[in-house]
Amino acid sequence: MAVPILAWVGLREESSWRYFVLFCSIPCILSTILSIAWVPESPRWLMTQGKHEQALVILRKAATTNGLNAMEVFPEGTILVDSQSYDDEIHSITALLSPEWRTMTLMLWATWTGLAFLYWGTIQMVTIIFFDTNSSNKSSGHVIDFDYGAIFASSCAEILGQTCVICLIHRSQRTHITSIMYLMGGIFVFVLCWAVAERDVPRQTLVVLSFLARGFAMGASSMTWVITAELLPTQIRATGHSTANGVARLGGAVSPFLVNPSVDFRLIGTVMGCVSLVTSIVAWNLPETSGQTMGTAGKKQGFLDDDRPVLESEII
């Protein structure tokens, strides 16, 4: 949401893109400083470094944050024990493609690729649509101008997407909610592209369609982040989640080759609609995580081929 505002402030004169990049770096720098100051270290990592007392302090703070009596949950004399005896053997990237994890990994990679393609493709499409062709500044050849108000209005849909996730995540099956959001996002971006191709659709209608497309895309991506962490057991969670995120960059890198002004808008909408449908189907068939212990959903629903029990870090 901040980007259209920063662009409106920064993109005002020749070479002003440098100011825009500078402005965009400020939130990144601030978040880095605040993260170092406020975000607690991983108790699991602290345990691997032999810093059990520091891990216990963080866990007690977490208990307090969740409305519990920290000293009842973790009384004096508590000893933290990591039950995973073979963690080092299976946390590598190659383990993700071993028979026991392969199906889950490939489904997550497909979902994340569709996530990035649809999310960034939708944002690029909105930017193309609201390029200000009537701008008087554009004639100088120095300034690229956009309808910043329309772009900002559509970006506010991210609040809607996040709010829907917060309200729905505990009320229904998460994989099904994710699937529906992918499908709805694809439908609205499809309608948006075809509406633009008609050339006589009111601008307000385009703003509403952009808002809905971005809202569902944001909701689907947020839910995907949650269920990915819940699907993967502790021994491969960090590796599996980061690898899926890395594979998603492929979808994000491919989207500009489709979503650009030289391509017919109907073709863009059709392809993005098809990608959303495929992503929706894959997400629908992921193991359901609601009400399951983290990392056990795949095992319980037959997605893991290995007979070995799925281990989970336990605090004793």
Q: How many separate domains does the chain show?
A: 2
pLDDT for res 302: 53
Q: Per residue in 227-251, pLDDT tens?
A: 998 888 877 888 888 999 999 999 9
Per the structure, the complete domain to which residue 171 belongs is given by 92-300
- The upper half-sphere exposure of residue 235, i.e. CA atoms within 13 Å in the direction of its Cβ, equals 20
Distance in angstroms (rounded) separating the CA atoms of residues 313 and 316: 10
Q: Are residues 271 and 291 in the same domain?
A: yes
Cα–Cα distances in Å, from 277 out to 52, 184, 284?
47, 9, 10
- Higher local confidence (pLDDT), 89 or 67: 67
Q: Are residues 142 and 286 in the same domain?
A: yes
Task: Evaluate whether residue 164 is within a structural domain.
Answer: yes
Task: Evaluate whether residue 191 is within a structural domain.
Answer: yes
Task: Evaluate whether residue 17 is within a structural domain.
Answer: no
Q: Per residue in 157-181, pLDDT tens?
A: 999 889 989 998 888 788 999 999 9
Q: Are residues 96 and 68 in the same domain?
A: no
Q: Per residue in 79-100, pLDDT tens?
A: 887 655 445 555 677 778 888 8
Q: Are residues 76 and 121 in the same domain?
A: no
Q: Are residues 59 and 150 in the same domain?
A: no
Q: What angle do CA 187, 182, 104 make, to 5 degrees?
A: 145
Phi, psi of 91 (to 5 degrees): -95, 5
Q: Are residues 255 and 110 in the same domain?
A: yes
pLDDT for res 315: 40
Task: Evaluate whether residue 279 is within a structural domain.
Answer: yes
Q: Are residues 54 and 102 in the same domain?
A: no
What residue type is 132 in one-letter code? D
Task: Evaluate whether residue 190 is within a structural domain.
Answer: yes
Task: Evaluate whether residue 186 is within a structural domain.
Answer: yes
Per the confidence metrics, is the pTM higher than 0.85?
Answer: no
Q: Are residues 191 and 272 in the same domain?
A: yes
